[in-house]
Amino acid sequence: MPAGLRHRVCRPAALAAGLLLMPGLLAAEAEFVGPGQSLQAIVDKAPAGALIRVRAGQYKGRVLLQKAVALVGEQGSVIEGDGTGSVITIDAPDVTVRGLTIRNSGTSLATEDSGVFVSAEGDRARIEANRFEHNLMGVDLK
C-alpha cells in the first residue's frame, strides 16, 4: 500500500477508535442556555452526562452542580455571582467547567469563597480555560 494512502486510511480509523473510547461525547445531547434564562434551572433539569452550552451573555446568580455535567461557555459568557459565597460549586464527580468568565464571589476566608469551589465529592473535576475576575480565590479544591 502506498505511504500516502496508508495515512488516509489510518487517520479515520484512529479517529473512530478514539470516539469509541469516549462514549459520553457521542451520547451527550447539548442543552443550550441563553441570556435571560436561569442557568441553575437548566442545570437542575439536565440529565447526568449532559453538555450545557452557555451562550454569550451575562448570567446572574450562583450555580450548584450536583451531577456530572459539562458547563461550556461561548466566548463572552459571564457567570456573575452576587458577592456572597462561591460563584460555582461543584459537588459531584466528573463535572467540567470550561470557557466561562466567572466573577464576583464573596470575600469570606472562613467560608473559602471562590470563583469555583470543588467539594470533596468533586472527583475528576475539570476546570479549563476560564477567566476569573473579582473573586477572593479563583479555584478552591477540597
Q: What is the pLDDT of residues 27-36, one digit of tens each?
A: 467 899 999 9
Q: Model confidence at 2, in pLDDT bands (50, 70, 90)?
A: low
The pLDDT value given to residue 30 = 87
The pLDDT value given to residue 10 = 44
Position 46 pLDDT exceeds 80: yes
Cell digits of residue 65: 452542580
**The total number of residues written for the chain in this structure:** 142
Q: How confident is the model over 8-20, as pLDDT tens digits?
A: 544 554 444 443 4
User: Which pTM does this prediction carry?
Assistant: 0.80
Position 119 pLDDT exceeds 70: yes
Contacts of 141 (CB under 8 A, 6+ apart): 118, 122, 125
Q: How many CA atoms lie within 13 A of 33 on its CB side?
A: 27
Q: Is 63 in contact with 39 (CB distance < 8 Å)?
A: yes
Chain position carrying cell 473559602? 112
